[in-house]
Amino acid sequence: MTPADRVPVTDDAGGPPAPPTGPAAPGRRLPGALLTWGRRLLVAVVVAFAVVAVVRERDAVSATLRALPWPYLVLALGAVAGGVLLSPLVWRAALDAMGVRLGAATAARIYLVGQLGKYVPGSVVAFVLQMELARAAGVSRARGLTASLLTAGVAVVTSLAAGLLAVPALAGSRPGLLWLFALLPVGLALLHPAALTPLLDRVLALLRQGPLPRRLAGGAITRAVGLSLLVALCYGVHLFVLVDAVREPGPVGRPLLLLLCIGTMGVAMTAGLVAFVLPSGIGARELVVVAALAAVLPYGQALALAVVSRVLFTVVELASAGGATLAARRRARG
Protein backbone atom coordinates (compact mmCIF):
# COMPACT_ATOMS: atom_id res chain seq x y z
CA MET A 1 0.00 0.00 0.00
CA THR A 2 1.35 3.39 -0.95
CA PRO A 3 1.37 6.33 1.50
CA ALA A 4 -1.32 8.01 -0.62
CA ASP A 5 -3.63 5.07 0.00
CA ARG A 6 -3.35 5.35 3.79
CA VAL A 7 -5.38 7.91 5.68
CA PRO A 8 -4.22 8.41 9.26
CA VAL A 9 -7.61 8.75 10.86
CA THR A 10 -7.75 8.24 14.60
CA ASP A 11 -10.29 5.97 16.18
CA ASP A 12 -13.47 7.71 17.22
CA ALA A 13 -14.17 5.99 20.48
CA GLY A 14 -16.44 8.24 22.44
CA GLY A 15 -15.95 6.61 25.81
CA PRO A 16 -13.65 4.37 27.81
CA PRO A 17 -13.31 0.75 26.71
CA ALA A 18 -15.58 -1.72 28.37
CA PRO A 19 -13.99 -3.50 31.30
CA PRO A 20 -13.01 -7.11 30.73
CA THR A 21 -15.59 -9.59 31.80
CA GLY A 22 -15.34 -13.19 32.83
CA PRO A 23 -17.04 -16.16 31.22
CA ALA A 24 -20.69 -15.54 30.50
CA ALA A 25 -23.20 -17.26 32.72
CA PRO A 26 -25.08 -20.20 31.18
CA GLY A 27 -28.30 -18.18 31.27
CA ARG A 28 -26.70 -15.47 29.16
CA ARG A 29 -25.26 -17.93 26.65
CA LEU A 30 -28.59 -19.66 26.06
CA PRO A 31 -30.35 -16.91 24.03
CA GLY A 32 -27.30 -16.52 21.79
CA ALA A 33 -27.09 -20.27 21.22
CA LEU A 34 -30.80 -20.44 20.40
CA LEU A 35 -30.43 -17.58 17.93
CA THR A 36 -27.46 -19.26 16.24
CA TRP A 37 -29.25 -22.57 15.89
CA GLY A 38 -32.39 -20.78 14.76
CA ARG A 39 -30.45 -19.15 11.91
CA ARG A 40 -28.92 -22.49 10.96
CA LEU A 41 -32.33 -24.14 10.93
CA LEU A 42 -33.74 -21.34 8.76
CA VAL A 43 -30.88 -21.70 6.26
CA ALA A 44 -31.36 -25.48 6.19
CA VAL A 45 -35.10 -25.09 5.53
CA VAL A 46 -34.52 -22.58 2.72
CA VAL A 47 -31.90 -24.80 1.07
CA ALA A 48 -34.17 -27.83 1.44
CA PHE A 49 -37.08 -26.04 -0.25
CA ALA A 50 -34.74 -24.93 -3.06
CA VAL A 51 -33.49 -28.48 -3.58
CA VAL A 52 -37.04 -29.85 -3.62
CA ALA A 53 -38.09 -27.23 -6.18
CA VAL A 54 -35.14 -28.05 -8.44
CA VAL A 55 -35.74 -31.80 -8.15
CA ARG A 56 -39.44 -31.37 -8.89
CA GLU A 57 -38.62 -29.40 -12.03
CA ARG A 58 -35.47 -31.36 -12.88
CA ASP A 59 -36.48 -32.07 -16.47
CA ALA A 60 -37.13 -28.41 -17.30
CA VAL A 61 -34.10 -27.27 -15.30
CA SER A 62 -31.73 -29.71 -16.97
CA ALA A 63 -33.12 -28.90 -20.42
CA THR A 64 -32.64 -25.18 -19.79
CA LEU A 65 -29.08 -25.67 -18.56
CA ARG A 66 -28.25 -27.70 -21.65
CA ALA A 67 -29.79 -25.05 -23.91
CA LEU A 68 -27.67 -22.20 -22.54
CA PRO A 69 -24.98 -21.37 -25.13
CA TRP A 70 -21.59 -20.73 -23.56
CA PRO A 71 -21.16 -17.28 -25.25
CA TYR A 72 -24.28 -16.12 -23.38
CA LEU A 73 -22.87 -17.46 -20.13
CA VAL A 74 -19.64 -15.55 -20.73
CA LEU A 75 -21.57 -12.33 -21.43
CA ALA A 76 -23.69 -12.80 -18.31
CA LEU A 77 -20.56 -13.50 -16.26
CA GLY A 78 -18.98 -10.30 -17.60
CA ALA A 79 -22.04 -8.25 -16.66
CA VAL A 80 -21.97 -9.64 -13.11
CA ALA A 81 -18.25 -8.90 -12.89
CA GLY A 82 -18.88 -5.33 -13.99
CA GLY A 83 -21.41 -4.81 -11.21
CA VAL A 84 -19.28 -6.47 -8.54
CA LEU A 85 -16.18 -4.45 -9.49
CA LEU A 86 -18.13 -1.18 -9.48
CA SER A 87 -19.43 -1.81 -5.96
CA PRO A 88 -16.17 -0.89 -4.15
CA LEU A 89 -16.34 2.53 -5.82
CA VAL A 90 -19.71 3.07 -4.11
CA TRP A 91 -18.12 2.26 -0.74
CA ARG A 92 -15.19 4.54 -1.57
CA ALA A 93 -17.58 7.39 -2.43
CA ALA A 94 -19.33 6.84 0.91
CA LEU A 95 -15.97 7.27 2.66
CA ASP A 96 -15.28 10.35 0.56
CA ALA A 97 -18.58 11.85 1.77
CA MET A 98 -17.07 11.81 5.28
CA GLY A 99 -13.84 13.44 4.11
CA VAL A 100 -11.82 10.20 4.16
CA ARG A 101 -9.99 9.29 0.96
CA LEU A 102 -8.61 5.90 -0.01
CA GLY A 103 -6.98 4.65 -3.18
CA ALA A 104 -9.22 2.63 -5.48
CA ALA A 105 -7.11 -0.54 -5.09
CA THR A 106 -7.20 -0.37 -1.29
CA ALA A 107 -10.95 0.30 -1.27
CA ALA A 108 -11.50 -2.66 -3.61
CA ARG A 109 -9.56 -5.01 -1.36
CA ILE A 110 -11.42 -3.89 1.77
CA TYR A 111 -14.86 -4.04 0.20
CA LEU A 112 -14.52 -7.19 -1.92
CA VAL A 113 -12.84 -9.29 0.77
CA GLY A 114 -15.24 -7.97 3.39
CA GLN A 115 -18.22 -8.89 1.23
CA LEU A 116 -17.34 -12.56 1.65
CA GLY A 117 -18.70 -12.18 5.17
CA LYS A 118 -22.23 -12.11 3.75
CA TYR A 119 -21.92 -15.83 3.05
CA VAL A 120 -22.04 -16.34 6.82
CA PRO A 121 -25.62 -16.45 8.18
CA GLY A 122 -26.47 -13.03 9.57
CA SER A 123 -24.71 -10.81 7.01
CA VAL A 124 -23.56 -8.31 9.65
CA VAL A 125 -20.31 -10.28 9.49
CA ALA A 126 -19.56 -8.47 6.22
CA PHE A 127 -19.85 -5.09 7.97
CA VAL A 128 -17.56 -6.19 10.80
CA LEU A 129 -14.99 -7.60 8.38
CA GLN A 130 -14.97 -4.44 6.26
CA MET A 131 -14.64 -2.34 9.41
CA GLU A 132 -11.58 -4.27 10.58
CA LEU A 133 -9.96 -4.27 7.13
CA ALA A 134 -10.53 -0.52 6.90
CA ARG A 135 -8.95 -0.09 10.33
CA ALA A 136 -5.84 -1.92 9.12
CA ALA A 137 -5.68 0.57 6.23
CA GLY A 138 -5.67 3.54 8.62
CA VAL A 139 -9.40 4.31 8.65
CA SER A 140 -11.15 4.39 12.01
CA ARG A 141 -13.59 1.62 12.78
CA ALA A 142 -16.41 4.14 13.08
CA ARG A 143 -15.74 5.55 9.61
CA GLY A 144 -15.37 2.10 8.06
CA LEU A 145 -18.63 0.88 9.57
CA THR A 146 -20.45 4.08 8.63
CA ALA A 147 -19.28 3.74 5.02
CA SER A 148 -20.58 0.16 4.87
CA LEU A 149 -23.96 1.14 6.34
CA LEU A 150 -24.23 4.09 3.95
CA THR A 151 -23.32 1.87 0.99
CA ALA A 152 -26.02 -0.64 1.96
CA GLY A 153 -28.58 2.16 2.29
CA VAL A 154 -27.70 3.61 -1.10
CA ALA A 155 -27.89 0.11 -2.62
CA VAL A 156 -31.39 -0.42 -1.22
CA VAL A 157 -32.66 2.91 -2.55
CA THR A 158 -31.18 2.52 -6.04
CA SER A 159 -32.20 -1.13 -6.30
CA LEU A 160 -35.78 -0.31 -5.37
CA ALA A 161 -35.81 2.59 -7.82
CA ALA A 162 -34.73 0.18 -10.56
CA GLY A 163 -37.18 -2.40 -9.20
CA LEU A 164 -40.13 -0.18 -10.09
CA LEU A 165 -39.70 -1.55 -13.61
CA ALA A 166 -40.72 -5.01 -12.38
CA VAL A 167 -43.81 -3.96 -10.42
CA PRO A 168 -46.34 -5.07 -13.12
CA ALA A 169 -44.81 -8.56 -13.29
CA LEU A 170 -44.58 -8.98 -9.51
CA ALA A 171 -48.09 -7.62 -8.96
CA GLY A 172 -49.46 -10.50 -11.02
CA SER A 173 -47.41 -13.30 -9.45
CA ARG A 174 -46.12 -12.21 -6.02
CA PRO A 175 -48.00 -9.12 -4.82
CA GLY A 176 -46.77 -9.82 -1.29
CA LEU A 177 -43.29 -8.67 -2.34
CA LEU A 178 -44.49 -5.16 -3.15
CA TRP A 179 -44.26 -4.12 0.51
CA LEU A 180 -40.53 -3.68 -0.10
CA PHE A 181 -41.29 -0.50 -2.04
CA ALA A 182 -42.50 1.14 1.17
CA LEU A 183 -38.79 1.61 1.93
CA LEU A 184 -38.24 3.73 -1.18
CA PRO A 185 -39.78 7.09 -0.15
CA VAL A 186 -38.05 6.96 3.24
CA GLY A 187 -34.74 6.04 1.62
CA LEU A 188 -34.95 8.84 -0.93
CA ALA A 189 -35.65 11.40 1.80
CA LEU A 190 -32.74 10.16 3.90
CA LEU A 191 -30.24 10.46 1.04
CA HIS A 192 -30.11 14.23 1.55
CA PRO A 193 -27.09 15.20 3.69
CA ALA A 194 -29.27 17.35 5.96
CA ALA A 195 -31.25 14.24 7.00
CA LEU A 196 -28.52 11.63 6.62
CA THR A 197 -25.84 13.31 8.74
CA PRO A 198 -27.83 13.45 12.02
CA LEU A 199 -29.09 9.91 11.41
CA LEU A 200 -25.54 8.59 11.14
CA ASP A 201 -24.53 10.64 14.19
CA ARG A 202 -27.31 8.90 16.11
CA VAL A 203 -26.05 5.49 14.97
CA LEU A 204 -22.49 6.40 15.97
CA ALA A 205 -23.71 7.55 19.37
CA LEU A 206 -25.36 4.17 19.93
CA LEU A 207 -22.00 2.58 19.11
CA ARG A 208 -20.28 4.90 21.62
CA GLN A 209 -18.48 6.77 18.85
CA GLY A 210 -18.10 10.49 18.30
CA PRO A 211 -20.22 12.31 15.69
CA LEU A 212 -19.09 12.99 12.15
CA PRO A 213 -16.66 15.94 12.04
CA ARG A 214 -18.74 17.72 9.41
CA ARG A 215 -21.86 17.41 7.32
CA LEU A 216 -21.72 14.70 4.66
CA ALA A 217 -20.67 15.90 1.21
CA GLY A 218 -23.64 15.91 -1.14
CA GLY A 219 -21.48 15.51 -4.24
CA ALA A 220 -19.95 12.28 -2.94
CA ILE A 221 -23.38 10.89 -2.05
CA THR A 222 -24.62 11.74 -5.54
CA ARG A 223 -21.62 9.94 -7.00
CA ALA A 224 -22.36 6.90 -4.83
CA VAL A 225 -25.97 6.88 -6.06
CA GLY A 226 -24.87 7.12 -9.70
CA LEU A 227 -22.38 4.29 -9.33
CA SER A 228 -24.95 2.16 -7.52
CA LEU A 229 -27.40 2.66 -10.41
CA LEU A 230 -24.70 1.41 -12.79
CA VAL A 231 -24.31 -1.66 -10.58
CA ALA A 232 -28.06 -2.30 -10.81
CA LEU A 233 -27.87 -1.90 -14.59
CA CYS A 234 -25.06 -4.47 -14.86
CA TYR A 235 -26.99 -6.98 -12.80
CA GLY A 236 -30.08 -6.44 -14.90
CA VAL A 237 -28.10 -6.96 -18.11
CA HIS A 238 -26.74 -10.28 -16.83
CA LEU A 239 -30.28 -11.57 -16.26
CA PHE A 240 -31.43 -10.25 -19.64
CA VAL A 241 -28.64 -12.17 -21.39
CA LEU A 242 -29.64 -15.40 -19.65
CA VAL A 243 -33.34 -14.96 -20.43
CA ASP A 244 -32.69 -13.97 -24.04
CA ALA A 245 -30.64 -17.14 -24.52
CA VAL A 246 -33.51 -19.54 -23.76
CA ARG A 247 -36.82 -17.77 -24.34
CA GLU A 248 -39.03 -18.36 -27.34
CA PRO A 249 -40.08 -15.34 -29.45
CA GLY A 250 -43.15 -13.75 -27.92
CA PRO A 251 -45.11 -10.54 -27.47
CA VAL A 252 -42.50 -9.06 -25.14
CA GLY A 253 -39.74 -7.43 -27.19
CA ARG A 254 -36.13 -7.14 -26.11
CA PRO A 255 -36.34 -3.52 -24.86
CA LEU A 256 -39.22 -4.39 -22.53
CA LEU A 257 -37.47 -7.60 -21.51
CA LEU A 258 -34.34 -5.66 -20.58
CA LEU A 259 -36.37 -3.27 -18.44
CA LEU A 260 -38.10 -6.22 -16.74
CA CYS A 261 -34.75 -7.86 -15.97
CA ILE A 262 -33.27 -4.64 -14.56
CA GLY A 263 -36.30 -4.22 -12.32
CA THR A 264 -36.25 -7.88 -11.31
CA MET A 265 -32.63 -7.78 -10.17
CA GLY A 266 -33.28 -4.51 -8.34
CA VAL A 267 -36.03 -6.09 -6.24
CA ALA A 268 -34.05 -9.33 -5.89
CA MET A 269 -30.96 -7.60 -4.50
CA THR A 270 -33.12 -5.63 -2.07
CA ALA A 271 -34.82 -8.81 -0.89
CA GLY A 272 -31.41 -10.36 -0.37
CA LEU A 273 -30.30 -7.42 1.79
CA VAL A 274 -33.51 -7.47 3.83
CA ALA A 275 -33.17 -11.23 4.41
CA PHE A 276 -29.80 -10.66 6.08
CA VAL A 277 -30.10 -13.76 8.26
CA LEU A 278 -29.68 -15.88 5.12
CA PRO A 279 -26.18 -16.29 3.63
CA SER A 280 -25.98 -13.79 0.77
CA GLY A 281 -29.78 -13.61 0.73
CA ILE A 282 -30.02 -17.15 -0.64
CA GLY A 283 -33.60 -18.08 -1.38
CA ALA A 284 -34.94 -14.53 -1.15
CA ARG A 285 -33.21 -13.39 -4.34
CA GLU A 286 -34.22 -16.52 -6.22
CA LEU A 287 -37.85 -16.16 -5.10
CA VAL A 288 -38.05 -12.71 -6.70
CA VAL A 289 -36.26 -13.78 -9.89
CA VAL A 290 -38.54 -16.78 -10.43
CA ALA A 291 -41.68 -14.78 -9.62
CA ALA A 292 -40.85 -11.96 -12.05
CA LEU A 293 -39.59 -14.17 -14.88
CA ALA A 294 -42.79 -16.20 -14.70
CA ALA A 295 -44.29 -13.41 -16.83
CA VAL A 296 -42.09 -14.39 -19.79
CA LEU A 297 -40.82 -17.93 -19.07
CA PRO A 298 -42.17 -21.27 -17.85
CA TYR A 299 -41.55 -21.93 -14.16
CA GLY A 300 -38.87 -24.55 -14.75
CA GLN A 301 -36.83 -22.27 -17.00
CA ALA A 302 -37.11 -19.36 -14.58
CA LEU A 303 -35.94 -21.59 -11.73
CA ALA A 304 -32.97 -22.83 -13.75
CA LEU A 305 -31.88 -19.28 -14.61
CA ALA A 306 -32.17 -18.25 -10.96
CA VAL A 307 -29.79 -21.09 -10.06
CA VAL A 308 -27.37 -20.13 -12.83
CA SER A 309 -27.46 -16.50 -11.69
CA ARG A 310 -26.58 -17.52 -8.13
CA VAL A 311 -23.62 -19.58 -9.36
CA LEU A 312 -22.32 -16.72 -11.51
CA PHE A 313 -22.48 -14.28 -8.58
CA THR A 314 -20.67 -16.70 -6.28
CA VAL A 315 -17.89 -17.35 -8.79
CA VAL A 316 -17.34 -13.64 -9.48
CA GLU A 317 -17.40 -12.61 -5.81
CA LEU A 318 -14.93 -15.29 -4.78
CA ALA A 319 -12.64 -14.56 -7.74
CA SER A 320 -12.73 -10.79 -7.24
CA ALA A 321 -11.94 -11.08 -3.53
CA GLY A 322 -9.05 -13.42 -4.29
CA GLY A 323 -7.77 -11.16 -7.06
CA ALA A 324 -7.92 -8.08 -4.84
CA THR A 325 -5.98 -9.88 -2.11
CA LEU A 326 -3.28 -11.09 -4.50
CA ALA A 327 -2.95 -7.63 -6.02
CA ALA A 328 -2.51 -6.12 -2.55
CA ARG A 329 0.20 -8.66 -1.67
CA ARG A 330 2.08 -7.93 -4.87
CA ARG A 331 1.96 -4.20 -4.17
CA ALA A 332 3.19 -4.81 -0.64
CA ARG A 333 6.12 -6.88 -1.92
CA GLY A 334 6.94 -4.19 -4.46
| Predicted confidence (pLDDT) at residue 121 exceeds the cutoff of 60 | yes
What are the tens digits of pLDDT across the range 239-268? 999 999 988 776 667 888 999 999 999 999
Bridge partner list, 13: 209
Band of residue 44 on the pLDDT scale cut at 50, 70, 90: low
| Predicted confidence (pLDDT) at residue 47 exceeds the cutoff of 70 | no
Does residue 278 form part of some domain? yes
The answer to whether 91 and 108 are in contact (CB under 8 A) is no
Does residue 7 form part of some domain? no
* Residue 14: predicted pLDDT: 42
Domain residues for the domain of 326 are: 30-333
| Predicted confidence (pLDDT) at residue 7 exceeds the cutoff of 90 | no
Q: What is the largest CA-CA distance in the chain?
A: 67
Does residue 12 form part of some domain? no
How far is Cα 153 from Cα 151, in angstroms, rounded to an integer? 5
How far is Cα 76 from Cα 258, in angstroms, rounded to an integer? 13
How far is Cα 288 from Cα 146, in angstroms, rounded to an integer? 29
* Residue 35: predicted pLDDT: 54
| Predicted confidence (pLDDT) at residue 152 exceeds the cutoff of 60 | yes
Number of domains in the chain: 1
AA identity, residue 208: R
Residue ranges in 179-253 assigned as alpha helix (H): 183-190, 193-206, 218-246
How far is Cα 198 from Cα 201, in angstroms, rounded to an integer? 5
Does residue 10 form part of some domain? no
Residues 6+ apart with CB under 8 A from 88: 104, 107, 108, 110, 111, 112
Burial class (CB in 10 A: 0-12, 13-18, 19+), 248: exposed
How far is Cα 315 from Cα 170, in angstroms, rounded to an integer? 28
What are the tens digits of pLDDT across the range 206-221? 878 778 888 899 999 9
Does residue 54 form part of some domain? yes
| C-alpha 44: how far from chain center | 21
- The pTM of this model reads 0.81
Does residue 302 form part of some domain? yes
3-class SS of residue 13: strand
Does residue 196 form part of some domain? yes
3-class SS of residue 209: strand
Q: Write the DSSP symbol of residue 76.
A: H
What are the tens digits of pLDDT across the range 222-238? 999 999 999 999 999 99
Q: Average pLDDT, whole number, for the chain?
A: 81
State the Cα angle at 35 between 34 and 39, rounded to 5°: 115
Does residue 158 form part of some domain? yes
